[in-house]
Structure 1
């Protein structure tokens, strides 16, 4: 995938989000760290549809769903405020699925790529390689 200049890359898992902006000129990628926002997962309310049971033995899943909803809410707000024009999301498959449930139409139109990979703990070089290979 060719990542346009100034595109935002969000790398997400169920506990954290890292944001980057591409400062490189096409076709080169130079990922620059962006400050991580303070998210309020408890207010997202996504996890209310999951109950602890034998199919879902702990509250970890609820917390991860709430965090994904909070990430989507933040990204929606950035897109609606025109601070994100193009976005690539990289998240583990389960988190990516939960994120998609909360995307606003404006954000969906600005998505230029989605990668179902867990790269949250990886260095920017690994993230760049995954984008290039996509």
Structure 2
């Protein structure tokens, strides 16, 4: 019995860059769909904030001390990047651009994707790998993805 070919997307990401690949069929043959990069998430917090922190008086003494920003600017940029990536996946899921998706990301990034993803994406997640493979050359990726069984039929 011959069925429809499954269109799989494989997302390889960290907190500042992502490559999205597609695969159809039982053999792992990756085709690049999109590459997303965040210049801001790669910069240090000092590069992202040009102003020096403000100064304040301590309530217990007349001494002044520096104020810390409420959140780390680099963490904010990383969060914005992952949120943007999830938005792209959500739009693609709604547009029926893939049948299933495999998430391969640095552990912290994978956790954030899980928190931000909605049902459109989570319903299509077929496998996850908590590893940062963003610096692996494209031709070497298949051997790192073997355990995910991409393209293999799902036994119901």
TM-score by length of 2: 0.65
Match of 2:87 among 64, 73, 83: 73
Alignment match of 2:70 (pick from 34, 51, 55): 51
Aligned counterparts, 1:92-131, within 5 A = 92-131=106-145
Matched, 1:34 2:39: no
Which is richer in strand?
Answer: 2
* Change in 2 beyond 3 A, CA 1:119/1:32: same
CA distance in 1, matches of 2:37, 2:96: 19
CA distance in 1, matches of 2:13, 2:20: 9
Alpha-carbon separation, structure 2, partners of 1:5 and 1:130: 21
Gaps of 5+ in 1: 42-49, 53-57
Give secondary structure in 1 for the equivalent of 2:96: coil
The residue number in structure 1 matching 2:65 is: none
Deviation sequence 1:13-67 (CA, Å, 0-9, x none): 11111011114x31x211111133688x9xxxxxxxx933xxxxx4211111111
Tell me by how many angstroms 1:90 deviates.
0.7
Structure 2 partner of 1:6: 7
Residue correspondences, number:
115
CA distance in 2, matches of 1:21, 1:12: 14
- TM-score with structure 1 setting the length: 0.75
Look up the SS of the partner of 1:115 in the other structure: strand
